[in-house]
Copies of this chain bind each other. A is one copy, B any other.
Amino acid sequence: MARWEPDARLRLVRAAIDLYAEQGYEVTTVAQVAERAGLTKATFFRHFPDKREVLFAGQEHHSTLLAEGAAAAPDGATPLEAVTAALDHATAAFTPEQRAWGPRLRAVVASSAELQERAAFKRAHLAAALADALRRRGVPDPTAAVAAELGVEAFHRAFDRWGDTTDDRSYGDLARSELHDLHAAATALR
């Protein structure tokens, strides 16, 4: 038998989502989250840098996936095709487990300005990573920024719709569809 129960990190994430949803993010203390996970405050901060990050850990992975996908697109691909490749590659992050947690996470984040702030920061990182990957492909500056912005917007819109159980399409299909709509709106803009 192990000295400590395994998956301390996962237990912390679950405890945090549960408590934040039950009684609210602001009134929940880190000590409470740690206690529900069978740990202490000090250990919480060994796994996460702050009280917010426990909800967003794993999203650095999204940046990596988007950048990898864009970089791996064939040489002749247009910027938009590279963004599509990035979204396809990011599909790897969207497991059924994520789908189950999505709505609860969205609700909790929506309830707190502090959490929305972190979400905005993560989104900015996503856009920066994707724009960087496009620039490394030789896409010139204003185009790379616009394409990355559309890609990240599609990424988030698709995630929102993916969480609605009424829509049974795969995340990849939803992302392609959102990107197509955004691109159409952009080219038609006057």
**Can you tell how many copies of this chain the complex includes?**
2
Residues of B within 8 A of A121 (CB): 113, 116-117, 120-121
CB within 8 Å of B: which A127-168 residues: 142-143, 145-147, 149-150, 153
Interface: A73 (CB within 8 A):
no
State the main secondary structure of chain A at its contact with B. Answer: helix
**Nearest-Cβ distance from residue A5 to partner chain B, whole angstroms:** 32
- Tell me, in angstroms, the Cα distance from A142 to B178 when the chains sit together: 9
Residues of B within 8 A of A153 (CB): 145-146, 149
Stretch at the interface among A15-23, A58-66, A94-102, A182-190: A182-190
Interface contact B182-A146, CB-CB below 8 Å? yes
Residues of B within 8 A of A183 (CB): 189
A143/B80 contact (C-beta < 8 A), A116-B121, A117-B117 known: no
Interface: A89 (CB within 8 A):
no
**Nearest-Cβ distance from residue A40 to partner chain B, whole angstroms:** 25
Q: Footprint of B on A, CB under 8 Å?
A: 78-80, 113, 116-118, 120-121, 123-124, 142-143, 145-147, 149-150, 153, 181-190
